[in-house]
Amino acid sequence: MQKAETSTIDAQAVTEKPKVAKLIEIMVDDKQMVYVNWPTDKKELCLTALCESLKLVSTWKPPVIEVAKPSLMDFVRGIKHG
C-alpha cells in the first residue's frame, strides 16, 4: 500500500519580501520650496531612483471608464447597462 505524502513549497521563499531602505527624504515648505536629503555615498543610486520615479509619475494615466450609452433597442429588450 502506498503512503500518502504531500508536497511542500518552500514557505520562506514564497513569503520573502525585498529589503527596502529609505534613501531619499523630500520635504516642501509653505513657499513651495523643495528640500531633498540623500546619503552622499549613494548619490548615483538616488539620482537614478528620482529619475525613475519622475518617469513613473509622468507616464501614469488614470483608468478610463467608458459608460455604455443605452440605445432604444436595449430599452425595448430590457437590457440594463452599468
Tens digits of residue pLDDT in 7-66 = 566 655 567 778 888 889 999 999 999 999 999 899 999 999 899 989 999 998 888 888
In a domain, 41, yes or no: yes
In a domain, 34, yes or no: yes
**Measured distance CA(81)–CA(40) in Å, rounded:** 57
In a domain, 46, yes or no: yes
In a domain, 66, yes or no: no
In a domain, 79, yes or no: no
Give the pTM: 0.49
Q: State whether residue 35 is helix, strand or coil.
A: strand
**Measured distance CA(25)–CA(5) in Å, rounded:** 51
Report in angstroms the alpha-carbon separations of 29 from 15, 35, 36, 43, 77.
39, 8, 12, 23, 59
In a domain, 5, yes or no: no
The string of DSSP letters for 40-61 reads GGGHHHHHHHHHHHHHHHHH--
Q: Confidence class of residue 68 from pLDDT cuts 50, 70 and 90?
A: confident
Q: How many domains does the chain have?
A: 1
Domain residues for the domain of 38 are 19-59
In a domain, 7, yes or no: no
